[in-house]
Amino acid sequence: MLIEQTDPHGHRVLRQRFEGVGTECRVGRDLGCDIVVDDDHAASQHALLTLLEDGRVSVQDLGTRNGTRVDGDRVPADAGAVIEQGEIIVGRTRLRVRTRHTPIGPERVFRREFVRRHRTMLAAAGVSACIAYVGFLQWLDAPSSMLRSVITAVLVALGLIALWTGLWALATKLNHGSWHVRVHLTIASIGAAFCAWGYWVAGLLAYAAQWSGLVQVGVAVAGVVALLALYLHLREATHYGRRIALSLAGAATLVIGTVAWIISIGVDDGNVNRVDLGPDVRLGAGRVVPNRDIADYLAGVDKLQLAAGRERQKSLLNAPLADAGD
């Protein structure tokens, strides 16, 4: 049988193997016990585990006041219990017991092997893509001192990525005992690069197709990338399983997205001077949709009268005129 002791956070602190039929294992605070627990809620001689002939384990409580529990159920003081596997609780200490009867699942394929194997290269590529995007934005502005503005912007971007990576690495260190910096750097930098370039490309496509909605699609894609990155960070840094990690990441993305949305709505709603000019123009660039005829366009302008009327109704509902009786 294999006995693993875990601390209240689920971390393994001890691992011991016992062999031979009839082998006994005493658990308690007494130094003479086979497994010594530093637990005020345990008795000096608390429980006795015996390896039976058929490979199973008998658990007996040695007359303690707090008792011994197996998988949550208290072991009867007189009878004891026989188990193939399970969690034994002594005081507040948890002991996981495994015998040869415990079923062993098939070998799990290591899915993130590619990321792990190429983590240096991927991290470098992600960071480069982020730097390239920031530099590109600065270049678009055509500043008077290109070098200075690019260096400033790149330093800010690198600082943000470093901070984010550092926080996740710290979480990993606390949970797993090692930092995994390169893996987190890969996830963070590639995620950021995807978001930035994706949004830029969405703007290009929105102009080419003359559909402002594509910019919203770009925002949605950025949201999905953020969700994925959060999920990977969580999986790397914590013990959470897939489902919990995914729902945590989803909840975080949802909360952040909702807050951003509410803020933008609040800003837009109060602003009667905001105009929507449509997607940014690309001078002399190719487009998917053909030009409209001026008469067509003006016919569309007629519909604005209705739309403006609706905006007025909304505005009157939100803030009625002083003498609303009329």
Q: Which of residues 200-219 bind another protein (CB under 8 A)?
A: 210, 212
Q: How far is the CB of 285 from another protein (least distance, A)?
A: 8
- Our CB check for another protein shows the closer of 91 and 279 to be 279
Residue 209 contacts residue 181 (beta carbons within 8 Å): no
Per-position DSSP letters for 260-271, written without gaps between them: HHHHHHHHHHH-
Does the footprint of another protein cover residue 273 (CB under 8 A)?
yes
Residue 248 contacts residue 256 (beta carbons within 8 Å): no
Segment interacting with another protein, rule: CB under 8 A, options 23-31, 34-42, 238-246, 265-273:
265-273
Residue 137 contacts residue 130 (beta carbons within 8 Å): no
- Our CB check for another protein shows the closer of 73 and 269 to be 269
Per-residue binding letters, 274-303, with another protein (x by CB under 8 A):
xxxxx-xxxxx--x-x-xxxx--xx-xxxx
How many other C-beta atoms can be found within 10 angstroms of the C-beta atom of residue 38? 8
- Our CB check for another protein shows the closer of 31 and 275 to be 275
Q: Which of residues 9-38 bind another protein (CB under 8 A)?
A: none
Does the footprint of another protein cover residue 141 (CB under 8 A)?
yes
Does the footprint of another protein cover residue 314 (CB under 8 A)?
yes
3-class secondary structure, 76: coil
Nearest Cα neighbor of 34 from 102, 113, 86, 90 is 90
Per-position DSSP letters for 130-178, written without gaps between them: HHHHHHHHHHHH--SSHHHHHHHHHHHHHHHHHHHHHHHHHHHHHHHSS
Residue 229 contacts residue 187 (beta carbons within 8 Å): yes
Does the footprint of another protein cover residue 114 (CB under 8 A)?
no
Does the footprint of another protein cover residue 317 (CB under 8 A)?
no
Segment interacting with another protein, rule: CB under 8 A, options 23-31, 92-100, 123-131, 272-280:
272-280
- Our CB check for another protein shows the closer of 71 and 311 to be 311
- Our CB check for another protein shows the closer of 178 and 273 to be 273
How far is C-alpha 189 from the chain's CA centre?
A: 15
Strand order in the sheet with 35-36: 35-36, 24-28, 47-51, 57-61, 81-83
The correct pick among 139, 152, 181, 223 for binding another protein (CB under 8 A) is: 139
- Our CB check for another protein shows the closer of 178 and 291 to be 291
How many other C-beta atoms can be found within 10 angstroms of the C-beta atom of residue 93? 22
The correct pick among 38, 105, 144, 145 for binding another protein (CB under 8 A) is: 144
Residues that bind another protein (CB under 8 A): 139-142, 144, 210, 212, 268-278, 280-284, 287, 289, 291-294, 297-298, 300-305, 307-312, 314-316, 319, 321-323, 325-326
